[in-house]
Amino acid sequence: MTDDQEVAGLGARLREHRTAGRMTLEGAAARVGLSPAYLSRLETGRRQPSLPVLLGLARAYGTSVSGLLGEQPGEPDPVVRGGVIGPGRAGGWGYRRAGAPGRAMQALRVQVPPGVQDAVVRVHPGEEWLYVLRGRLRLTLGESVHHLDEGDSAHFDSLTPHCIAADTPDGVELLFLHTLLQSPGGDLCLGDAPRI
Protein backbone atom coordinates (compact mmCIF):
# COMPACT_ATOMS: atom_id res chain seq x y z
CA MET A 1 0.00 0.00 0.00
CA THR A 2 1.43 3.39 -0.92
CA ASP A 3 1.57 6.45 1.28
CA ASP A 4 -1.04 8.14 -0.93
CA GLN A 5 -3.46 5.27 -0.32
CA GLU A 6 -2.82 5.26 3.43
CA VAL A 7 -3.65 8.94 3.87
CA ALA A 8 -6.35 9.40 1.22
CA GLY A 9 -8.83 12.05 2.35
CA LEU A 10 -6.56 13.34 5.12
CA GLY A 11 -6.77 16.96 3.94
CA ALA A 12 -10.57 16.98 4.00
CA ARG A 13 -10.61 15.41 7.48
CA LEU A 14 -8.13 18.03 8.73
CA ARG A 15 -10.39 20.80 7.42
CA GLU A 16 -13.52 19.16 8.91
CA HIS A 17 -11.91 18.86 12.35
CA ARG A 18 -10.68 22.45 12.24
CA THR A 19 -14.03 23.90 11.22
CA ALA A 20 -15.94 21.67 13.68
CA GLY A 21 -13.79 23.21 16.42
CA ARG A 22 -14.64 26.70 15.08
CA MET A 23 -10.99 27.46 14.47
CA THR A 24 -9.73 29.71 11.74
CA LEU A 25 -6.87 28.56 9.55
CA GLU A 26 -4.63 31.12 11.27
CA GLY A 27 -5.73 30.12 14.79
CA ALA A 28 -5.27 26.40 14.22
CA ALA A 29 -1.89 26.93 12.55
CA ALA A 30 -0.69 29.07 15.47
CA ARG A 31 -1.72 26.39 18.02
CA VAL A 32 0.46 23.80 16.27
CA GLY A 33 3.36 26.08 15.30
CA LEU A 34 2.69 26.03 11.54
CA SER A 35 2.18 28.76 9.01
CA PRO A 36 -1.40 29.19 7.75
CA ALA A 37 -0.13 28.59 4.20
CA TYR A 38 1.37 25.23 5.16
CA LEU A 39 -1.82 24.16 6.99
CA SER A 40 -3.80 25.18 3.91
CA ARG A 41 -1.56 22.96 1.74
CA LEU A 42 -2.18 20.08 4.18
CA GLU A 43 -5.94 20.64 3.99
CA THR A 44 -5.92 20.71 0.18
CA GLY A 45 -3.83 17.54 0.00
CA ARG A 46 -0.85 19.20 -1.67
CA ARG A 47 1.35 18.20 1.29
CA GLN A 48 1.40 15.30 3.79
CA PRO A 49 2.27 16.04 7.43
CA SER A 50 5.14 14.56 9.39
CA LEU A 51 4.27 12.54 12.50
CA PRO A 52 4.99 15.44 14.90
CA VAL A 53 2.74 17.75 12.86
CA LEU A 54 0.00 15.10 12.72
CA LEU A 55 0.27 14.57 16.50
CA GLY A 56 0.06 18.31 17.10
CA LEU A 57 -3.01 18.65 14.87
CA ALA A 58 -4.71 15.69 16.57
CA ARG A 59 -4.14 17.29 19.98
CA ALA A 60 -5.29 20.73 18.79
CA TYR A 61 -8.48 19.24 17.34
CA GLY A 62 -9.15 16.97 20.35
CA THR A 63 -8.92 13.75 18.38
CA SER A 64 -6.43 10.97 17.71
CA VAL A 65 -4.00 10.44 14.85
CA SER A 66 -6.12 7.41 13.91
CA GLY A 67 -9.16 9.67 13.68
CA LEU A 68 -7.33 12.07 11.37
CA LEU A 69 -6.12 9.16 9.25
CA GLY A 70 -9.74 8.05 8.79
CA GLU A 71 -9.69 4.92 10.91
CA GLN A 72 -13.27 3.85 11.54
CA PRO A 73 -14.31 3.60 15.18
CA GLY A 74 -16.14 0.55 16.32
CA GLU A 75 -15.24 -2.72 17.92
CA PRO A 76 -11.47 -2.66 17.60
CA ASP A 77 -9.76 -5.69 16.18
CA PRO A 78 -7.03 -6.69 18.63
CA VAL A 79 -4.77 -7.75 15.74
CA VAL A 80 -3.13 -5.21 13.45
CA ARG A 81 -1.38 -6.74 10.45
CA GLY A 82 1.99 -5.43 9.36
CA GLY A 83 2.67 -3.70 6.11
CA VAL A 84 5.09 -1.46 4.29
CA ILE A 85 5.51 2.12 5.45
CA GLY A 86 5.82 4.37 2.41
CA PRO A 87 7.70 7.67 2.71
CA GLY A 88 5.56 10.77 3.08
CA ARG A 89 5.72 13.60 0.60
CA ALA A 90 6.49 16.29 3.20
CA GLY A 91 9.68 15.64 5.09
CA GLY A 92 9.64 11.93 4.32
CA TRP A 93 8.16 10.79 7.66
CA GLY A 94 6.16 7.60 7.32
CA TYR A 95 3.74 6.15 9.81
CA ARG A 96 1.31 3.27 10.09
CA ARG A 97 -1.18 2.38 12.80
CA ALA A 98 0.15 -0.40 15.03
CA GLY A 99 -2.63 -0.53 17.62
CA ALA A 100 -6.41 -0.49 17.83
CA PRO A 101 -8.13 2.92 17.54
CA GLY A 102 -10.22 4.36 20.37
CA ARG A 103 -7.92 3.23 23.17
CA ALA A 104 -6.33 5.26 25.97
CA MET A 105 -2.98 5.03 24.21
CA GLN A 106 -2.07 5.07 20.56
CA ALA A 107 0.50 2.83 18.90
CA LEU A 108 2.20 3.71 15.61
CA ARG A 109 5.02 2.30 13.53
CA VAL A 110 7.12 5.30 12.50
CA GLN A 111 9.79 5.75 9.86
CA VAL A 112 11.98 8.83 10.30
CA PRO A 113 14.10 9.59 7.22
CA PRO A 114 17.77 10.60 7.43
CA GLY A 115 18.65 14.24 7.75
CA VAL A 116 15.22 15.23 9.11
CA GLN A 117 15.10 16.64 12.59
CA ASP A 118 11.94 18.00 14.12
CA ALA A 119 13.16 21.39 15.35
CA VAL A 120 10.03 21.91 17.46
CA VAL A 121 10.57 20.79 21.02
CA ARG A 122 7.30 19.22 22.15
CA VAL A 123 5.75 19.37 25.61
CA HIS A 124 2.32 17.90 26.38
CA PRO A 125 0.57 15.86 29.07
CA GLY A 126 0.87 12.09 28.95
CA GLU A 127 3.54 9.46 28.47
CA GLU A 128 5.48 8.22 25.47
CA TRP A 129 7.27 4.96 24.85
CA LEU A 130 9.36 4.14 21.81
CA TYR A 131 11.33 1.12 20.66
CA VAL A 132 13.96 1.22 17.90
CA LEU A 133 13.32 -1.46 15.27
CA ARG A 134 15.96 -0.44 12.73
CA GLY A 135 18.66 2.24 12.64
CA ARG A 136 19.76 4.66 15.33
CA LEU A 137 17.60 7.31 17.00
CA ARG A 138 18.65 10.60 18.57
CA LEU A 139 16.25 11.42 21.41
CA THR A 140 16.53 14.76 23.18
CA LEU A 141 14.85 14.87 26.60
CA GLY A 142 15.23 18.25 28.26
CA GLU A 143 18.95 19.03 28.20
CA SER A 144 20.02 15.40 27.66
CA VAL A 145 20.67 13.77 24.29
CA HIS A 146 20.35 9.98 24.10
CA HIS A 147 21.36 7.71 21.22
CA LEU A 148 19.25 4.57 20.94
CA ASP A 149 20.28 1.60 18.83
CA GLU A 150 18.18 -1.30 17.50
CA GLY A 151 16.43 -3.00 20.40
CA ASP A 152 16.73 0.03 22.70
CA SER A 153 13.64 1.73 24.09
CA ALA A 154 12.71 4.85 26.04
CA HIS A 155 9.72 5.62 28.27
CA PHE A 156 9.22 9.19 29.45
CA ASP A 157 6.75 11.75 30.75
CA SER A 158 5.82 13.91 27.76
CA LEU A 159 5.85 17.03 29.94
CA THR A 160 9.62 16.66 29.56
CA PRO A 161 10.59 18.75 26.51
CA HIS A 162 11.43 16.22 23.78
CA CYS A 163 12.54 15.89 20.18
CA ILE A 164 13.35 12.85 18.00
CA ALA A 165 15.52 12.49 14.89
CA ALA A 166 17.19 9.78 12.80
CA ASP A 167 20.89 9.35 13.55
CA THR A 168 21.77 6.94 10.74
CA PRO A 169 22.22 7.55 6.99
CA ASP A 170 19.22 5.37 6.05
CA GLY A 171 16.84 6.73 8.73
CA VAL A 172 15.27 4.95 11.67
CA GLU A 173 12.16 2.84 12.16
CA LEU A 174 10.51 2.61 15.55
CA LEU A 175 7.42 1.60 17.46
CA PHE A 176 5.87 4.62 19.13
CA LEU A 177 3.19 4.59 21.85
CA HIS A 178 1.67 7.59 23.56
CA THR A 179 -1.25 8.30 25.83
CA LEU A 180 -3.98 10.55 24.49
CA LEU A 181 -4.37 12.92 27.42
CA GLN A 182 -6.05 16.18 26.45
CA SER A 183 -5.65 19.46 28.27
CA PRO A 184 -5.50 23.17 27.47
CA GLY A 185 -1.70 22.93 27.72
CA GLY A 186 -1.51 19.86 25.51
CA ASP A 187 -0.20 21.68 22.48
CA LEU A 188 2.71 23.56 24.06
CA CYS A 189 5.93 23.93 22.14
CA LEU A 190 9.13 25.47 23.40
CA GLY A 191 11.68 27.49 21.54
CA ASP A 192 11.35 29.27 18.26
CA ALA A 193 9.35 26.79 16.18
CA PRO A 194 10.13 27.20 12.49
CA ARG A 195 7.26 28.12 10.20
CA ILE A 196 6.87 25.46 7.54
- In this predicted structure, the answer to whether residue 75 has a pLDDT above a threshold of 70 is no
Quick: pLDDT tens for 19-57: 888 899 999 999 888 999 999 999 998 888 888 888 889
Contact 175, 130 (CB under 8 A): yes
12 phi and psi, to 5 degrees?
-65, -40
Give the chain's mean pLDDT.
77
Amino acid, single-letter form, for residue 163: C
144 compared with 65, residue with greater pLDDT? 144
Quickly state the pLDDT bin for 187 (edges 50, 70, 90): very low
Quickly state the pLDDT bin for 98 (edges 50, 70, 90): low
The Cα 33–Cα 132 span in angstroms is 27
Quickly state the pLDDT bin for 108 (edges 50, 70, 90): confident
pLDDT of residue 107: 84
Task: Provide mean pLDDT across the span 104-112.
Answer: 83
Contact 41, 47 (CB under 8 A): yes
- In this predicted structure, the answer to whether residue 184 has a pLDDT above a threshold of 60 is no
The Cα 82–Cα 84 span in angstroms is 7
Cβ of 175: how many Cβ atoms within 10 Å? Answer: 16
